[in-house]
Amino acid sequence: MKLKLKFKKIAICASQKNNQIDEIAKQCCEVLKSLDVIVYVNDNLSSVVNSTKSKVVNDKTLKQADLMVVIGGDGSILGFARRFGSLGIPLLGINLGNLGFLADIAPENLTSILTDIAYGKFKKDKRFFLEASINSEKRPYIALNEIVIHSGKVAQLIEYEVFIDEVFVYRQRADGLIINSPTGSTAYSLSGGGPIIHPDVKAITLLPMFPHSLSTSPLLVKDTSNIEIVMIGSKNKATLSMDSHNSLSLKKGDSILIQKTSYDLTLIHPRDHNFFSACRNKLGWSSAIT
């Protein structure tokens, strides 16, 4: 009995250009073409078109893909997740970075894993986005990992008040505040001493950055919470950033509303994917002390 393809149109994408990425993209195209999959590539992979008979397409056509394969590290996944994953297109990551929690397929395992996934042998992983709006503006900005309010300078404090579901929580002076999803718990928040959160846990973390207090701890709230940050300091400027992108200036009196979006990102993983195994391998858990 012939197996039925799960994905008929697959886009191969990269945010950078180099020989290693081209070679992997070429291999992806050859594997998928052999399965009679329609293959699109983005403009950064134009050099593989002639040898693989693939087609460079624009963003409008990329949006028609049933699956998007992203070659690169987690930074690349973040960019394509905001642009295409937020539209409902599943993403599969081939990891070329040093510490990838989103892009988890090693290039040496590509052929067998990509074939399995094309035929529907994979795990689905749902992740929620965070969105932020300033002063009730209608167009929110989205992030997969974290939304950060910070001073933008070393050792410079900003002052703000935090409300959860319209309930006052605290007033604080700090270098900044990281508001992250479980996906972001292994990113910037981790470097700041925040907790690692399993992706299935429906929570949002608030992690102050170098707070001017001796009693401040990370705070976890339910993922349906409405988080409001009100800027009250007048001396120093502050900046709002989403996944280190879309940096916006904040001023005294600005109100930032942060909540999860109504849509999710779907990540595709090999069937043997395991979050705790990824933590062991990438964070050095269980490593011998020498």
DSSP string for 239-285:
EEEETTEEEEEE-TT-EEEEEEEEEEEEEEE-TT--HHHHHHHHH-T
Q: How far apart are the first and last CA of the chain?
A: 54
* Amino acid at position 218, single letter: P
Distance CA 58, CA 89 (A): 15
Which residues make Cβ contacts (< 8 Å) with residue 282, sequence separation at least 6? Answer: 99, 100, 101, 186
272 is catalytic: no
* Amino acid at position 226, single letter: N
Among 22, 74, 104, 254, the one annotated catalytic = 74
Detail the DSSP E strand segments found in the chain: 9-14, 38-41, 55-56, 67-72, 91-95, 123-134, 141-143, 146-150, 158-164, 167-174, 176-180, 203-209, 219-222, 227-231, 238-242, 245-250, 255-269
> Among residues 182, 188, 179, which one has the least CA distance to residue 148?
179
Catalytic residue numbers? Answer: 74
